[in-house]
Amino acid sequence: MKKQAAENSREFLKLIKEWQALEDTTIASASAMLKKTKNPIVKMTMELIKKDSEKHKIIQQMIIDSLTKEAVHLNPDELNAVSDMLNKHMEAEAESLCLAEEALKNSELFTTKYLLSYLIADESKHHGLMCQLNDLKRAAILTSTGSRYYGYIERPASEIERSHVSKRK
């Protein structure tokens, strides 16, 4: 008997729905703080948290819909069509990281460091997401006939990405 994926269980869906409801609580809390404070740093932080929670809900709903309505399909040709743009975006994210880290290294004020640290974490997250999307291009995905695999598109690290890695060592 073939084992069912954990995502197909009622418990898994319940977990995602509970998490999604918790995001509503986070959004409400951030909105309440936004109304109570005049401090620009607190306001900006709460706005960012609120927007992140809104994004989380969208992603969680996609997970739910992909399990209860229609599975998400990804065709290698779809990724091949945007391969060059994906590579350029990854290079831009890597360059942004280098600039942000250089700015952080040259900053002294707490507020500036706080904001730059946030931006670095966010840019790192973006770069990581793009790398994961790029990894999907590399994945061997069976065709509908099941008789052969699509190849993958190899993308060497950009000069910016290599320099970013060498700066961290």
The string of pLDDT tens digits covering residues 123-154 is 899 888 888 887 776 664 433 333 233 333 34
Domain count, the chain: 2
Does residue 65 sit in the same domain as residue 79?
no
Does residue 155 sit in the same domain as residue 80?
yes
Does residue 37 sit in the same domain as residue 55?
yes
Considering the chain, what is the average pLDDT of its residues?
A: 82
What single-letter amino acid sits at 10?
A: R
CA dihedral 126, 153, 164, 45 (to 10 degrees): 0
**Domain end marker among 72, 89, 107:** 72
Range of the domain at 47: 1-72
Angle 40-68/110-138 helices, nearest 10 degrees?
20
How many residues comprise the chain? 169
Does residue 105 sit in the same domain as residue 141?
yes
Does residue 20 sit in the same domain as residue 102?
no
- Burial (CB < 10 A; 0-12, 13-18, 19+), residue 127, is buried
Does residue 50 sit in the same domain as residue 108?
no
Given a contact cutoff of 8 angstroms between Cβ atoms, the answer to whether 127 and 93 are in contact is: yes
**Domain end marker among 54, 72, 90:** 72
Helix (H) or strand (E) holding 132: helix 110-138
Does residue 28 sit in the same domain as residue 67?
yes
pLDDT in tens, 51-85: 999 999 999 999 999 889 988 877 777 777 788 88
Q: With DSSP H G I counted as helix, E B as strand and the rest as coil, what are the percentages for the chain, rounded to 5?
A: 75, 0, 25
- pLDDT-derived band at 44 (thresholds 50, 70, 90) equals very high
Does residue 46 sit in the same domain as residue 121?
no
Task: From 70, 30, 29, 47, select the one nearest 118 (Cα to Cα).
Answer: 47
Does residue 161 sit in the same domain as residue 103?
yes
Q: Kindly report the number of other CB atoms within 10 A of residue 137's CB atom.
A: 21
Does residue 66 sit in the same domain as residue 83?
no
Does residue 169 sit in the same domain as residue 98?
yes
**Domain end marker among 28, 50, 72:** 72
Does residue 129 sit in the same domain as residue 46?
no
